Amino acid sequence: MSRFISPKRFEGKVVVVTGAAQGIGRAVAERVAAEGADTVLVDRAELVHETAAELAADGASAFAVTADLEQYDGASAAIDAALARHGRIDVLINNVGGTIWAKPFEHYEPEEISKEIQRSLFPTLWTCRAVLPHMISRRGGVIVNVSSVATRGVNRVPYAAAKGGVKAITAALALEAAPYGIRVVATAPGGTEAPPRQVVRGPQPEGAEEKAWYQQIVDQTLDSSLMKRYGTLEEQAGPIAFLASDEASYITGSVLAVAGGDLG
């Protein structure tokens, strides 16, 4: 657990974290739960129930929901489940997404392009739409989206397009939501070290050519970072938690790059 925990920072707040079964999403859920939030963890992987159980065993308030956020019905059901559990949502942190394939754009099949967009754009779009009426009715709330500095990166054009869309959602929705006291912000992570995924995003590179394409991503990620390294899960969770908190009350419409100096 982070040495930078701010006890009670989210006390009395209901925080929904999507993509919470593993990776950055799990790290964020652990962080806000440790800081007093009533945390709702959402993922389509059943693993999310184990994650919530581990947090609860440590004394945190954690409740898990399985849902396919690539579809509006799934996003709506997840938000409804959080409301049924707690009666309100103060913060929504949208973390679902991730590259499925890594290759030059001319090698993508049309259906692969569609799947990349479906994976990394629509979960944020749908959950924002699902939670917005509730936040408007309460005249307040925070939405933190997770984009990526890979909007300027090699061998991931469809993913870059999706994450660019997340940045656009953040900017445009912040304009619409501000009159209701709702903040909409985002981070743009760079390369991040994480344990091996228990639920993989897509096929692993096969053959020399595919492995070389993936290595180009690694090399470009390191070259673009002024610090010449990958970040940690803690280094990603901290800025997300800050933007979600009342400490960031005068920040909206902004995208914070968290990538060692790579601005994307």
12-21 pLDDT tens trace: 999 999 999 9
Section 134-141 average pLDDT? 98
Could you tell me if residue 103 is inside a domain? Answer: yes
212, two tokens: 């070389």
Provide the CA 117 distance to its chain's centre, in angstroms.
Answer: 15
Section 50-67 average pLDDT? 97
Which residues are designated catalytic?
A: 159
Tell me, what's the pLDDT at 3?
Answer: 75
Section 123-152 average pLDDT? 98
In the block, which residue shows the tokens 């990603």?
236
Which CATH number is 154's domain given? 3.40.50.720
- Closest alpha carbon to 93 in 113, 62, 123: 123
DSSP state of 130: H
Could you tell me if residue 134 is inside a domain? Answer: yes
Could you tell me if residue 7 is inside a domain? Answer: no
Range of the domain at 130: 14-258
Could you tell me if residue 9 is inside a domain? Answer: no
User: Degrees (nearest 5) of the Cα angle 149, 92, 39?
Assistant: 115
- Give the amino acid at 205: P
- The alpha carbon dihedral of 120, 190, 165, 212 has a sign of negative
Could you tell me if residue 211 is inside a domain? Answer: yes
Is it the case that residue 173 has pLDDT exceeding 90?
yes
Section 194-219 average pLDDT? 89
Could you tell me if residue 5 is inside a domain? Answer: no
Could you tell me if residue 8 is inside a domain? Answer: no
Domain count along the chain: 1
Phi, psi of 203 (to 5 degrees): -65, 145
Is it the case that residue 172 has pLDDT exceeding 70?
yes
Could you tell me if residue 60 is inside a domain? Answer: yes
What's the CA dihedral at 137, 140, 141, 142 to 10 degrees?
130
In the block, which residue shows the tokens 């699902």?
130
What does DSSP say about strands 91-94 and 61-66: parallel, antiparallel, or unpaired? unpaired
Tell me, what's the pLDDT at 1?
Answer: 57
**Global pTM?**
0.96
108, two tokens: 């993508």
* pLDDT confidence bin for 35, thresholds 50/70/90: very high
List CB contacts of 206: < 8 A, sequence separation 6 or more: none
* DSSP H/E element including 52: helix 47-57
Tell me, what's the pLDDT at 200?
Answer: 76
List CB contacts of 233: < 8 A, sequence separation 6 or more: 23, 24, 26, 27, 192, 193, 194
Is it the case that residue 235 has pLDDT exceeding 80?
yes
Tell me, what's the pLDDT at 201?
Answer: 74
Is it the case that residue 234 has pLDDT exceeding 80?
yes
